[in-house]
Amino acid sequence: MPSAALQTPTEHLTLGHALASHAERLSATTALVYGRPDGGQDRRSYAELYAQAAAIGAALHDLPARTHDRPFVLIALPDGVDYVASFFGSVLADTVAVTFHPPLMSTTRAGRAWDHRLEQILRDCEPSAVITTPELHTRVRAVAGAAALAPLVLAPEDVGWDAGAEAGPVRTRPHHLALLQYTSGSTSSPKGAMVSHANLAHNIAHIRRNLSTGPGQSAAGWLPLFHDMGLIGMVCHPLTAGMSLHMSTPTGFLRNPLGWLRTLSETRSTFTIAPDFGYATAVHKVPEERRAGLDLSGLRHALNGAEPVRRRTVTAFTEAYAPHGFHPHALMPVYGLAEATLVVTCLDRQAPPALHEADRRTLGGAAPRSGDFRAGTARTELVGCGSAIAPDTEVAVVDPRTSRRLPAGEIGEIWISGPGVAGGYWGREQASRETFGATVDEPGSPARRFLRTGDLGIWHEGQLRVAGRIKDVIIHRGTNHHPQDLEATAEGCHPQVARAVAFAVRDEDDQDEQVVLACELHAYGGSDHAGVLTALRTAVLEEHGIAPAAVAVVQTGAVPRTTSGKLRRAEAAQRWSAGEFRTVALWHRGATSKGGRR
């Protein structure tokens, strides 16, 4: 760890205060460069970013509040400088940003899924304003109208700004809400984690302290801004630190993965974040001859989070880019979640990857009843994600049945307590109590409240290792998908489908998660099974961006359920992997596309 006396970064009360301070001291320094879809770039200095944000903030701060004591402002913009300026505008005005996105694909079905999701969020928090692009205004008004709401709908270009203008006051207050982060959540119940300015300031200050980031450094990345890792880790953190940030978009990255590496190289960036598949893509989609001239020697920390870190990715990325200056210990696995603002554990230094092989079955022996280790091979590799990011943050591994703390080496649910933990889910008292109000059963323990993460973990050699999940969440390319959402899509995609179950199984080398959907039909005689299977695949792709590894029609009653009719997805996954699922009709990804999936 660097010397604390020299390296402790200047602490800012809030993001708003940090930006105002940088606008004064680093005024002409580049704050943000964003790649546009047309290949051009937008650029803002700190003074310009502050001026634009302040102008947007001025348009927001007199809005009437509705369901909260301050107004909610939903942002549904493409990733870019206007998104960042709008978020900081909300921060400066002390309104509460609700982060969202435009439709992800232009197909009709994807559009309907977006309308539905937007309507649910609008109903849940009743924003006073929606900031979106002009071409979406009519559509947003129509969706809001269906929810009997009429928010102010505005576009960033409607708000003029002048970098030389007199700056307004910073209205941001630490204990006010900054952000409702809707977890990429279940169709039936989108839940907005309530993140305060104090939460953000705490998490960002400790990321900075661990990584020693500050003015004079650059960062580069492409994560989406509606996701906490993109907005907080990849954007708010570098801008709070006074760094120069160079951003692309997820689409920009996928179309041209080399662009990310080139930007890291050209800007001598010290920091980036990507999920595991991002690093894998940078290896497999950038042929060796195109890596010539890259210099990654400035990259001190390449965070790897949001999905399980895979040994083969760490090895392959390091082998591919060590000849281009990449330090083998710079790839840093982190653990975090939106309910704890962002980062929960990470390393405070460069270190070799801490890999630890464990027996999945013995791990499972101590797991809760519903503990769901994906069926498959018995050996599994657990990657060390460091320790608690801050001394005042406690990360406990707890037996969820007894609420008792477990010793190192035993698997249990990861519980978190500390200033980074969000204030609960907006408007959901019961869910908030269940998730955010746990207490550890131990003699003489103060009534400290813990966040139950639903993730299973184990302490080994001083590092937290994430071992699976209690919940049935499916992680696909760094994004969490609730099986309920995929099942709802399946049940709505073809009139013959009665009930569906979605689950994930692991591939042979226990690495990638493969999504499987099985459905029961209303009637089997004369049904167009092939048509059902096609409809399932297309619908799940367009609404969720996932290509299932297999889809099946099964007999009524074949899907395992509890006596009360609840789906038993973990059991379904086990039966599937064991080949015990009898299918009426089956499609699975053929031999032509086997192997090499990221």
Kindly state whether residue 251 participates in binding other proteins, applying the rule CB under 8 A: yes
Kindly state whether residue 475 participates in binding other proteins, applying the rule CB under 8 A: no
From candidates 293, 525, 557, 595, binder to other proteins by CB under 8 A:
595
Gyration radius from the chain CA atoms: 24
From candidates 546, 552, 559, 567, binder to other proteins by CB under 8 A:
546
Chain centroid to Cα 200, Å, comes to: 15
b (16+ CB within 10 A) / e for 147-174:
bebebebbbbeebebebeeeebebbbbb
Kindly state whether residue 596 participates in binding other proteins, applying the rule CB under 8 A: yes
Q: CA-CA-CA-CA torsion for 318, 319, 323, 324, nearest 10 degrees?
A: -40
Enumerate residues 6+ apart whose C-beta is below 8 A from 142: none
Footprint of other proteins on residues 256-285 (CB under 8 A)? 256-257, 277, 281, 284-285
Secondary structure of residue 426 in the 3-state scheme: coil
* Residue (4 or 591) nearer to other proteins, CB: 591
Kindly state whether residue 537 participates in binding other proteins, applying the rule CB under 8 A: yes
Kindly state whether residue 477 participates in binding other proteins, applying the rule CB under 8 A: yes
* Residue (244 or 304) nearer to other proteins, CB: 304
Secondary structure of residue 225 in the 3-state scheme: coil
Footprint of other proteins on residues 388-447 (CB under 8 A)? none
Enumerate residues 6+ apart whose C-beta is below 8 A from 198: 174, 175, 419
* Segment interacting with other proteins, rule: CB under 8 A, options 79-87, 190-198, 251-259, 436-444: 251-259
How many Cα atoms occupy the beta-carbon half-sphere of 416 within 13 Å? 31
From candidates 10, 58, 102, 104, binder to other proteins by CB under 8 A:
104
Kindly state whether residue 112 participates in binding other proteins, applying the rule CB under 8 A: no
Distance from C-alpha of 566 to C-alpha of 292, rounded to nearest angstrom? 55
From candidates 387, 545, 561, 583, binder to other proteins by CB under 8 A:
545
Annotate 128-169 with DSSP letters as a single string. SEEEE-GGGHHHHHHHHHHTT---EEE-GGGS---TTSPP--
Kindly state whether residue 587 participates in binding other proteins, applying the rule CB under 8 A: yes
Kindly state whether residue 137 participates in binding other proteins, applying the rule CB under 8 A: no
* Residue (237 or 537) nearer to other proteins, CB: 537
* Residue (61 or 477) nearer to other proteins, CB: 477
Pairing of strands 301-304, 387-388: unpaired
Kindly state whether residue 484 participates in binding other proteins, applying the rule CB under 8 A: no
* Residue (330 or 553) nearer to other proteins, CB: 553
Kindly state whether residue 291 participates in binding other proteins, applying the rule CB under 8 A: no
Residues that bind other proteins (CB under 8 A): 104-107, 250-251, 254-257, 277, 281, 284-285, 476-477, 534, 537-538, 541-542, 545-547, 549, 587, 589, 592-593, 595-598
